[in-house]
Structure 1
Amino acid sequence: MKKKERAIRLGTVAAMLVTSWMGDSALAQSSVTLYGVADTYLDYSNNNPSAVTGQGGGKSVVKLSSTGLSGPRWGIRGTEDLGGGLSALFVLESGFNVDTGTMAETGRLFNRQAFVGIEGAYGRLTLGRQYTTIYETLPNFAPLYYSNTYEPLVVLLGSPREDNAVKYRFAAGGLTVQGHYAFGEQAGAIQGNAGLGVGMVYVAGPFAIAGTYDQGNGPETAEGHSKIRKAALAGSYSIGPASIVAGYRWGHDTTAAGATALRDNLWWAGLRYELTPALMLSAAFYYDDVKSRTGVVNPPNPKQYVVQGIYSLSKRTDVYGAVAYARNSGLNFGDLKTLAAGKESQTGVALGIRHKF
């Protein structure tokens, strides 16, 4: 009996060791991570239209807003080691508003990203709702890293995401190239609602350069489909704690009939300086040379100046402030009609906090 009991115990221990080894092995081969960002800020701006009927314009407003340095989001991402240097991956990411607790986009849970793909030595291929190539090419060349306080992202990039997209990215040494194609899924019109883009980034020590092209088509009609096309070239250079960035973005929007709806050249430049390991200061300038716009004779050329500071309280939490002045437009190059009648400039001040988890 003693020998039998001893054998049973040894067998149980061996089974536990095998089970433990297999469990650890499985965990090492795959992982799922919950992550997110919470970001909100107090925002002052002047020269707003009055909300009271019959009252004059040029009113100031103070708001608690969402999306300061980063868009608030929560997400799930995961990878699985398939062996042979190949891995599967997925990302599901949802945006929300910190100031109200609502979804950033009603009716679309994973409005920011929702894709699955595979990655190996020959690059990464992903399918689903994804960022456009122009969006993923330029963040390090934008003076404020796509901060909503205050960088004119819509004018610079257009729509940052596309549905039904297939994207490929490859990186080797200092070179990264990528491209995407978004299916329009319109019966009988393969180009209707479709989108495409290509981009390249090359980094050599303190110097980096980027080039990208993006096109988004409207729905197919009897006349054809509208097009929103953008191409950009940008560069950066780092000198100790300082870095400078500059870029140019060509833009041409056409109607379904092929007429020009908007033609502009956007220029920008910025300086970043790490005053201390915890404090980053940035200054930025943007100028949009509007050549033509439908229905507007001699369209104004917006310009905007921004000064921003970010102080890191920890690796995950920072506080920030920014001051901006826009001429011939609202802040972030908002249309003049968003200003009070007779006003052609706007000033904004933002103070906020961001936490990453």
Structure 2
Amino acid sequence: MKKVLGSALAIAAGLVSSAAMAQVTVYGIVDVGIERVTNTNAAGDSAVKMPSLTSSFPSRIGFRGNEDLGGGVQAVFTLETGFAPDTGTIGQGNRLFGRQAWVGLKGAYGTLMLGRLPNMTFYSILKADVMGPHIYSISSLDGYLPNSRSDNAIGYMGTFSGVTVGATYSLGRDTSAAGGPGATGCAGEVPGNSRACRQGTALLSYDSKDFGVLGAYDMLYGGPGANNGMTSSNFSDRRLSFNGYAMVGGAKLGAGLIDRRTRMLVETGTKLYYFGGTYLFAPRWQVDAQVARLSVDDTARKSTLSVARVSYLLSKRTAVHGSLGYMRNAGGAALAVDAGGTVGLGLNQTGVMLGIRHNF
């Protein structure tokens, strides 16, 4: 950890010293909560804990910069670290810059990027999912969604008259084997096996002042030693994402469908639906609510998540928040209400969290 922190400080010092030549922004979120969760095991025991993965938002620190190269072209980069404020440890599989680490060129025809990138599944749900990567959210139904990032990736994104097109292609989608949905151990770049751990994603969206629609395609392949049973490049995991949002008075409504099909020794499929809304009133209070369901094709397994969050803005950068989540598991399903948590097989679960968030 000392070496990791030393490296981060050295990089930060280098960025600050170069600020005279390029515009560099340091930004971040520190968000910590305390929650109580029921039915964490088969005995139905409750637990009180301080979540590590996320609270109302995942904690992070980032560096974003650009340099004008002339002729309407800029050099751009983003380095972003996720961390657990309850322990101070690095997230995303112990990567120093696990959320983003890329450099690119930006011009009138879009941005070309190279490095570790948020892929197009990440962007397709960003505007429609009003809960975002909250601890009680669609992240609890599909742990890949808040971790939809690709190592060794080439990316492009451009917006033209409200229409956004984007794509990523990864030569080796996940080089960390630390475990969890953000570190699945599929490094790729295997001689003689060009498909191993490759991933391709694509995005098409339209945004106006009052509404937006977004769709994405995401195909990833397995490889030797990969987690989650994806141990062969003949195995694949495909997601189609259809999302939309609308501004109605002072409220924002969002909804989506994510269709997933996994092909390994057997083929399985799931469908995730969600609908939610957010409203800012009086003018420091914000209320967000969402209902989401994950169903497994050709089975009775269904998990339905209902969640509400209330935030009070102490200032433009600081807020206190409270959340209530309820996961109903049916047909032998066993998904926890809190992302990364545990639940007894077939049991329902309630989570309550209070926390504080500061943006900088």
TM range (shorter): 0.7 to 0.9
1:105–1:223 distance in 2 versus 1, CA, 3 Å:
closer
Instruction: Confirm or deny that 1:350 pairs with 2:353.
Output: yes
- Give the conservation status (yes or no) of the 8 Å contact 1:156–1:249: no
- Give the conservation status (yes or no) of the 8 Å contact 1:325–1:331: no
- 90-99 vs 155-164, which deviates more? 155-164
- Give the conservation status (yes or no) of the 8 Å contact 1:265–1:289: yes
After TM superposition, give the deviation of residue 27 of structure 1 in Å.
6.4
After TM superposition, give the deviation of residue 356 of structure 1 in Å.
1.1
For the residues of structure 1 that align with 2:84 and 2:316, how far apart are their CA atoms? Answer: 23
Instruction: Confirm or deny that 1:278 pairs with 2:278.
Output: no
For the residues of structure 1 that align with 2:115 and 2:154, how far apart are their CA atoms? Answer: 7
For the residues of structure 1 that align with 2:337 and 2:243, how far apart are their CA atoms? Answer: 19
Find the counterpart in structure 2 of residue 207 from structure 1.
211
Q: Structure 1, residues 175-194: CA drift from partner, whole Å, max 9, x if none?
A: 11111000131211221101
2:142 alignment partner, SS class:
helix
Scaled by the length of structure 2, what TM-score is found? 0.82
Find the counterpart in structure 2 of residue 311 from structure 1.
312
- Structure 2 unaligned runs (5+)? 1-17, 173-188, 226-230
Please identify which structure carries the higher helix content: 1
- AA matched with 1:316: R
1:46–1:27 distance in 2 versus 1, CA, 3 Å:
closer
- AA matched with 1:40: V
After TM superposition, give the deviation of residue 172 of structure 1 in Å.
1.6
- AA matched with 1:286: A
Instruction: Confirm or deny that 1:246 pairs with 2:233.
Output: no
Instruction: Confirm or deny that 1:264 pairs with 2:270.
Output: yes
For the residues of structure 2 that align with 1:177 and 1:76, how far apart are their CA atoms? Answer: 25
Pairing partner for 2:43 from 32, 35, 57: 57
For the residues of structure 1 that align with 2:19 and 2:60, how far apart are their CA atoms? Answer: 26
Find the counterpart in structure 2 of residue 192 from structure 1.
196
- Give the conservation status (yes or no) of the 8 Å contact 2:197–2:233: no
Superposed CA RMSD in Å reads 2.4
Instruction: Confirm or deny that 1:182 pairs with 2:170.
Output: yes
Pairing partner for 2:335 from 330, 333, 336: 330
Give 1:297-308 correspondences, 5 Å limit.
298-308=299-309
Find the counterpart in structure 1 of residue 85 from structure 2.
98
Pairing partner for 2:65 from 41, 60, 78: 78
Find the counterpart in structure 2 of residue 10 from structure 1.
none
After TM superposition, give the deviation of residue 33 of structure 1 in Å.
2.0
- Give the conservation status (yes or no) of the 8 Å contact 1:186–1:192: yes
1:47 alignment partner, SS class:
coil
Find the counterpart in structure 2 of residue 18 from structure 1.
none
Greater CA radius of gyration, 1 or 2? 1
- AA matched with 2:130: P
- Give the conservation status (yes or no) of the 8 Å contact 1:304–1:331: no
2:344 alignment partner, SS class:
coil
- AA matched with 2:252: S
Pairing partner for 1:230 from 218, 222, 239: 239
- Give the conservation status (yes or no) of the 8 Å contact 2:158–2:165: yes
- 196-205 vs 148-157, which deviates more? 148-157
- AA matched with 1:236: Y
1:96–1:203 distance in 2 versus 1, CA, 3 Å:
same
For the residues of structure 2 that align with 1:81 and 1:199, how far apart are their CA atoms? Answer: 27
After TM superposition, give the deviation of residue 29 of structure 1 in Å.
5.8
Count of aligned residue pairs for this structure pair:
316
2:51 alignment partner, SS class:
strand
Find the counterpart in structure 2 of residue 22 from structure 1.
none
Of all paired residues, the percent bearing the same amino acid is 32
2:122 alignment partner, SS class:
helix
1:100–1:156 distance in 2 versus 1, CA, 3 Å:
closer
1:333–1:247 distance in 2 versus 1, CA, 3 Å:
farther
After TM superposition, give the deviation of residue 204 of structure 1 in Å.
2.5
